[in-house]
Amino acid sequence: MGYFLHLKHGWFFLLFLFCAALIFSNLLHWIVFRVLRRKQVEGTSSAQGWGLHKYLGSPARAIFVITCVLAVLPMAPDELKPYLGDPVHQLLKVALVVSLGWFAVGFVSVVEKTLLRRFDITAENNMRARQVHTQMLIFRRAAIGFIFIVTFGSVLWTFHDERIWKAGTGLIASAGIASLILATAAKSTASNFLAGLQIALTSPIRIDDVVVVQGEWGRIEEITSAYVVIKIWDQRRLIVPLSYFIENSFANWTRQTSEILGTAFLYVDYTVPVEALRAQLQKVALSSPLWDKRVCVLQVTDLKETTMEIRCLISSRNSSESFDLRCLVREQMIAFLRDNYPESLPHFRILGKQILPEQPAAQGELPSPQAQ
């Protein structure tokens, strides 16, 4: 009876130690992140900050709790240590390693968020920002994949069973043979992975780039480890493998800058006054906020049998505004011609030839062969 009473008191003491570990770990967690949050507010002007609590709060709490529990386990009464043997210690070690891997993934997100705070992708001239966002997106996924592999290997290292070590050795050895098979079977996957690294380093495309792929105009909406999602102007989505952008040619309208030249063609009669049209184009451009005041040129670019081709060349800050400005120029230039020079709009000329009436033949003359 005394043994069971002593054992019962031992369990109460163990429960007390466990509760003390929980309280101490949560208190330590609160103090650490309180200090970090205060330094974060003092060191940054952004309301969102570095995202320390968002990405590191939960894994840090798990690490603190597991560490404190491992620290108080040796203080357990001797009669309870048989119940707290290797399985409990092993479970806590595995949980600690997984928590550390979780913390490492969160740390990668914090680093990404901290670096990207300086690059606003919504700015007008955001070429550098889009390049950095694209590179960080690809590198973050590669880093998280590496962390998963290291975490899994570290979990195996926590076991001290020779059979597990042999199984791990056999797994690594078989991975070499399997990699040869997968390299042949998954050639496209490997090429997309390498293409992703090339895209991250050379930046042929970036997030929010305007591209023309397979005759479709759209913006780069997402870059994954295997494919790129292009948002078409009519809200469709074009899914293109990463390797396509390395192996094929495509148009990137924002490779260096988002500024672009747009054209609007007019087909008019030869009698149109070109100078009046040139002055009207200047008025249209000056009255529109879509024009960036760089280029506004009107030229006769071709002569056809019945019409004259006039090109209106105008510049804009980006491709979306360029499209709207081109439509505006067409509408107002045609309205100007219709209201002021309607005779200069394209029309067909039909020239008639006067046919004289046939004269009667004189007496004694033979009729002509045509008359017969």
Residue whose C-alpha is closest to residue 199's, from 227, 218, 219:
227
pTM here is 0.52
Q: How far apart are CA 60 and CA 291, in angstroms?
A: 53
Write the burial class of residue 225 (CB in 10 Å: 0-12 exposed, 13-18 middle, 19+ buried): middle
Domain boundaries, the chain: 10-118, 157-257, 260-344
The more confidently predicted of residues 109 and 26 is: 109
Name the pLDDT band for 195 (thresholds 50, 70, 90). Answer: confident
Extract the tokens encoding 330: 């067409």
Supply angle C-alpha 70, 71, 73, rounded to 5.
Answer: 65
Extract the tokens encoding 240: 């293109």
The more confidently predicted of residues 317 and 255 is: 317
Please name the residues in contact with 179: beta carbons below 8 A apart, sequence gap of 6 or more.
none
Neighbours of 346 (CB within 10 A): 14
Q: For 157-257, which CATH class?
A: mainly beta
Name the pLDDT band for 275 (thresholds 50, 70, 90). Answer: very high
The more confidently predicted of residues 213 and 69 is: 213
State the chain's mean pLDDT as an integer. Answer: 75
**CB-CB contact of 97 with 147 (8 Å):** no
Q: Is 239 helix (H, G, I), strand (E, B) or coil?
A: strand
Calculate mean pLDDT across residues 60-71.
76
**CB-CB contact of 295 with 261 (8 Å):** yes
pLDDT digits (tens, 9 = 90+) for 112-136: 887 777 776 666 666 677 777 777 7
Among 3.30.70.100, 3.90.650.10, 3.30.390.50, 3.30.1330.10, what is the CATH number of 260-344?
A: 3.30.70.100
Q: Which residues is 218 bridged to in the sheet?
A: 211, 232
Neighbours of 118 (CB within 10 A): 9
Q: How far apart are CA 263 and CA 315, in angstroms?
A: 9
Write the burial class of residue 289 (CB in 10 Å: 0-12 exposed, 13-18 middle, 19+ buried): exposed
